[in-house]
Amino acid sequence: MAAEKDPETTEQETKKKSKLPFFIILAVGICVLGGGGFFAYNKFLAHKPAVEEVASQETKKEAAPVIGEMLVMEPFVVNLADPRGKRYLKVKIELELESKEAVDKATKATPKLRDMVIMMLTSLGFEEVMTPEGKIRVRDELLERFNEIMRPDHIKNIYFTEFVVQ
């Protein structure tokens, strides 16, 4: 009797053994079906860009903004509006202009431009120029004032190539 096995225990052992291969086959089948579905979608159902769309994308890349003529101004070293008078600002500005004629006009107007920059920067406080928002505000205000002086020519952008506060 000891050699005979209980029929219920042998059935349970076979059921446990048969579940593992079932789950492995199921997982592999899901992966194969998912990969096949992905391939079929990309190959047959995905939207293919038309020739016109591809051409328009290429023209957009070619029509990227062109960098204009650059004018480098001498560095500005000014005292900030500080009650103790111990704060200095050193700024180097480069102007992006539309054409060479605008560069020539800006070169002739350099004294006016420098005076305007000095008057504006000396009215600023330390807290105003130290934050990124303050620097953006200074750039925008300078751009607006420069464009008033340079009319009808247009300054595209102003770049701070050096900005040191001490």
- Nearby residues of 100 by Cβ (< 8 Å), 6 or more positions away: 69
> Which residues are 71's β-sheet partners?
95
**How many Cβ atoms sit within 10 Å of the Cβ of residue 161?**
11
In the chain, where are the structural domains located?
7-62, 69-165
Average pLDDT over the chain reads: 81
pLDDT digits (tens, 9 = 90+) for 141-163: 999 998 888 888 788 889 999 99
Fold for domain 69-165? Tetrahydropterin Synthase; Chain A (3.30.479)
Q: Which residue has the tokens 């006016």?
A: 112
pLDDT > 90? residue 59 = no
What is the mean predicted confidence (pLDDT) over 56-81? 77
pLDDT > 70? residue 130 = yes
Indicate yes or no: pTM above 0.85.
Answer: no
- Give 88-100 as a DSSP string: EEEEEEEEEESSH
Instruction: Give the whole-number percent of the chain exceeding pLDDT 70.
Output: 77
Q: pLDDT value at position 56?
A: 64
pLDDT > 60? residue 89 = yes
